[in-house]
Amino acid sequence: MSRPSLITTRLTVDLAKASYDICIGQGILNDAFGLLDGLVDPREPVAMVTDETVWALHGAGLAATLLEQGLNVTPVVMPPGEQSKSMEGLETLFAAFSDMQINRSSLILAFGGGVIGDLAGFAAASYLRGVPYVQIPTTLLAQVDASVGGKTAINWRQAKNQIGAFYQPRLVLIDTDTLDTLPARELHSGLAEVVKYAAIRSKSLFSELQANTDRLDLPSVIAQCCQIKAGLVEIDELDLGDRMLLNFGHTFGHAIEQAGSLSQVRHGEAVGMGMVIAARIGEHMELTRQGTSDSLGMLLSAYELPTRSPWAPAKLMPLLASDKKSKAQSIQMVLLREVGDAFVQQISIADLSRAIDEME
């Protein structure tokens, strides 16, 4: 008798060259072997890239099951944290891939949070000019954002995501049960990205988040975020237009992360503070409906997220100049007309500085 599928939502990221599915559900990794069927010849080596925390909680069990079922899996276990998303981390993966004779018919599993997803994804993109990989995200942030869309990268010289590639996974497996072990701070960090999706694209999701602070239907919320992201990636895979809307909150968010030395502030926390700054700037420039920054701030607070940057926006300005989104003397910033309606605005550094000075 066939077992009922544990997948509650299956979405497709429909791309000209490389379409792939996102499977979402509780406990879907119990059928990981079945879900990976057809993606790799069981005789080929499979690398499971993960971090020590995820390995101890979920990875060892999953690897053992896959091995038992006939997949030739070898784990590569990295230290947890942003420092693994580095040139040294990349070299560790390349050495492991070489040792286990990974080839272009192999498969790489990126099993962990956004750090592992970005690192393993970039290693997959660059090793032998491209090895297929599957994203199996285990943080909320990675489930709603980092695992979808093929942005892969490492940090370099204190700059976030400085070296990377667009390289789409073959499949994304989102098992919401993995979130049961996630520390509250990490869960909240992911919720900041959820708020971001609502802010840029979905008033109804924003209302759902406001009304259900203590009883969110996470699988449904994750599916809505992935649907929004898939839609933006489909129309703008290379981030030259509408996909940039996903950067709402990131201009100042990245600066906050850098000011706090990448590891102290969680990515989602920084994005949350960055969204409030962006909304305040938009309101000041009369491009954003008044009260939007307050609505955002209240929602973030309800999810126990900080809303005020420890560094005044003026102090963060020098860090924007090195941001990938800044071109010469101006910067492309995502602003909101109102909740659910975002747009990209080219703003000169001079105008931005003036607005920030006037706001303070």
Q: Indicate the residue among 102 and 120 with the shorter CB distance to ligand GLY.
A: 120
Residue position matching structure tokens 């080219």 = 346
Longest dimension (CA), the chain: 68
In the DSSP assignment, the letter for residue 16 is: S
* Closest CB 237 distance from ligand GLY, rounded Å: 10
In contact, 59 and 48? CB cutoff 8 Å: yes
Query: Positive or negative, the Cα torsion across 270, 219, 211, 232?
Result: positive
Supply the DSSP symbol for 337: E
For binding to ligand GLY (CB under 6 A), which residues are involved?
Answer: 145, 149, 151, 239, 243, 246
Q: Are strands 159-166 and 151-156 parallel, antiparallel or unpaired?
A: antiparallel
DSSP per residue, 164-231? EEE---SEEEEEGGGGGGS-HHHHHHHHHHHHHHHHHH-HHHHHHHHHTTTS--HHHHHHHHHHHHHH
Nearer to ligand GLY, 106 or 251 (CB): 251
- Picked from ligand GLY, ligand NAD, none, the partner binding residue 243 (CB below 5 to 8 A depending on kind) is ligand GLY
Name the minimum Å distance from CB 103 to ligand NAD: 25
Number of residues that bind ligand NAD (CB under 6 A): 30
Residue 141 interacts with, from ligand GLY, ligand NAD, none (CB under 5-8 Å by kind): ligand NAD
* Contact track, ligand NAD, 162-201, x by CB under 6 A: ----------------x--xx---x--x------------
Question: 36: which 2 tokens?
Answer: 């990976």
| Among 7, 23, 53, 59, contact with ligand NAD (rule: CB under 6 A) | 53
In angstroms, rounded to a whole number, what is the distance separating the alpha carbons of residues 74 and 67? 9
239 binds, among ligand NAD, ligand GLY, none (CB under 5 to 8 A by kind): ligand GLY
* Interaction between residue 59 and ligand NAD (CB under 6 A): no
**DSSP 8-state symbol, 280:** H
Smallest gap, in angstroms, from Cβ of residue 139 to ligand GLY? 14
Helix (H) or strand (E) holding 327: strand 326-327
Tokens of 255: 């600066």
Toward ligand GLY, which CB reaches closer, 116 or 356?
116
Partner that binds at residue 81, options ligand NAD, ligand GLY, none, CB closer than 5 to 8 Å by kind:
ligand NAD
Distance CA 211, CA 333 (A): 29
Per CB under 6 A, the list member of 32, 77, 85, 323 interacting with ligand NAD is: 85
Closest to 230 in 3D by CA, of 5, 20, 26: 20
Q: Which of 28, 48, 51, 232 binds ligand NAD (CB under 6 A)?
A: 51
Q: Which does 84 bind (CB under 5 to 8 A by kind): ligand GLY, ligand NAD, none?
A: none
Tell me the two tokens of residue 264.
């102290």
By Cβ distance, which residue is nearest to ligand GLY?
246
Write out the residues near ligand NAD by the rule CB under 6 A.
Answer: 51, 53-54, 57, 80-82, 85, 112-116, 118, 138-139, 141-142, 145-146, 149, 151, 160-161, 178, 181-182, 186, 189, 267
